[in-house]
Amino acid sequence: MRFKASIQNITTFTKLTASLNSLGPLAWVKLSDDQVCFTIIPEQGTQVWAALSIDTIFETYTVQSAANNVINLEVPLGPLNRALKSALNATSAQIRLTKKDSMPLLALTIVTTSSSNSYSAFPTGASNDGGLDAPFDDSFGGGNRETIITQEVPVRVLAPDTVAGLHEPQCREPDVHIILPPLLQLKSISDRFTKLALAGARSGPGSTASRTRLEMAANMHGCLKMSIKTDAMSISSVWTDLSNPELDPGQVAGGEIGISEHPSTRMKLLGSADGRSEEGWASVRIDGRDWGKVMSVGRLGGRVIACFCHEHALILYVYLPSDNGEDESVLTVRDLALAFLITPLNN
């Protein structure tokens, strides 16, 4: 069993682990020839199924194992995130799977160049007034110093049988799919809503509502509605002018006919673009705090499509921004990076 790769995009990897860590402490990482999968299945709350193409994070990637070159690991996200943070200023970073005293671990080797300014007593380089000493200074160590840091993250290797039973849950075709506004904007409002609801619960007699019911709804006319109700108030925010991406006949079962029978096509007939109509909304009630955690993935950037199955499920698909200048209006399944399955609250 062998895994070795150099990390190409340290910032993205760090943000990704930080976002995932807010949803659950342990991730099932599946390394295979063509992709890296991060899966988080907490006891309660949102599940994440992330499938990243190798070059999103890694380069010079090798994985070998007896089981079809697939390695399954249980990785603690907190330590991994901390280890990656120390690599943020690195010139290069490598990750590999090793063993130490028969304990499997991911070793992160980070090479940083620390500028000599903070250590040497003399200013170096151009600021030398004589200019004569400069070559001497450089050879003396006045130039850049290389530091190698090794961070070790203990992991558990999972047997193929252990993870064989885990599959991404299937859900019926969504009633509404919509591109969300910037997640950080959504988060700032949803956090305030949650705060409002908790403030209301505190004053109420004997209410131990630790969960805040946030109602999310969307229609096929570019509107997203977020609302919360308490005894003292009910508040809702409506976004308009968002876009509902067109379905690709090649991706939907049944092609053109499949699209014409798709639930979202029916929803298109209802509701209005100003968000004032009562009809045409697909809504899901979720836990406000859980939603706030999911929103932290906003730091990764990228576009987020929310799929609403009315009173049944809410799934967010995050498409990471690609830097190779592709036309961003076309999203294919291949671009899909993360799927968040948000647990709805029962009534």
Partner 1 sequence: MDEEDEAPILTAVSSSARQLYQLLRCINFSEKAHVQISDEGLKFSVDEASVMEGSAFLAKSLFTTYTFRAPRPQRNSQHIDSDEEGEDPDDLTATPTFQISLPALLETLQIFGLTDPNTSKPPWARDNPTSTAFSNNVLGMNNMCRILYTSLGSPLTIILTEATIRTTCDLTTYEPAFSEEIPFDRANLSFKTIMRGNWLCDAVGELSSTTPEKLTLWARTRGGKPYFALSSSGTLGSARVEFNNNPQPSSRAPPPPPPNPSSAAAPDQQPQANLLETFQLGDPETTLRASYKFSLIQRAARAMSVATKVSIRVDAQGVLSLQFMIEVETGKVSFVDFRFVPLVEEDDEEADETMLGDGEASGSDDDDEDML
Binding footprint of partner 1 on the chain (CB under 8 A): 181-182, 184-185, 188-189, 192, 195-196, 199-200, 203, 230-242, 275
Q: Return the number of the residue (86 or 322) whose C-beta is nearest partner 1.
A: 322
Q: Smaller CB distance to partner 1: residue 196 or 259?
A: 196
Q: Residue 231 or 279: which CB sits closer to partner 1? A: 231
Q: Which residues pair with 154 in a beta bridge?
A: 105
Amino acid at 231: D
Residue 95, judged by CB atoms within 10 A of its CB (0-12, 13-18, 19+), counts as buried
CA distance 250 to 153: 42
Closest distance of CB 225 from partner 1, Å = 10
Nearer to partner 1, 202 or 334 (CB): 202
Torsion of CA 289, 167, 163, 15, to 10 degrees: -40
Smallest separation, CB 193 to partner 1 (Å): 9
Neighbours of 315 (CB within 10 A): 21
Cβ of residue 184: shortest distance to partner 1, in angstroms? Answer: 7
- Rounded to a whole number of angstroms, the minimum distance from the CB of residue 327 to partner 1 is 17
* Shortest spacing between CB 75 and partner 1, in angstroms: 33
Tokens coding 1: 């069993």
Q: Considering Cα of 289, then 294, then 299, then 304, what sign does the dihedral take?
A: negative
Identity of the residue, 156 or 303, whose beta carbon is nearer to partner 1 in the bound complex: 303
Residue 74 makes CB contacts below 8 A (sequence gap 6+) with: 26, 27, 28, 29, 155, 156, 157, 158
- Least spacing, CB of residue 291 vs partner 1, in Å: 16
Q: Which is nearer to partner 1, 100 or 195 (CB)?
A: 195
Instruction: Report the distance separating Cα 194 and Cα 256, nearest Å.
Output: 42
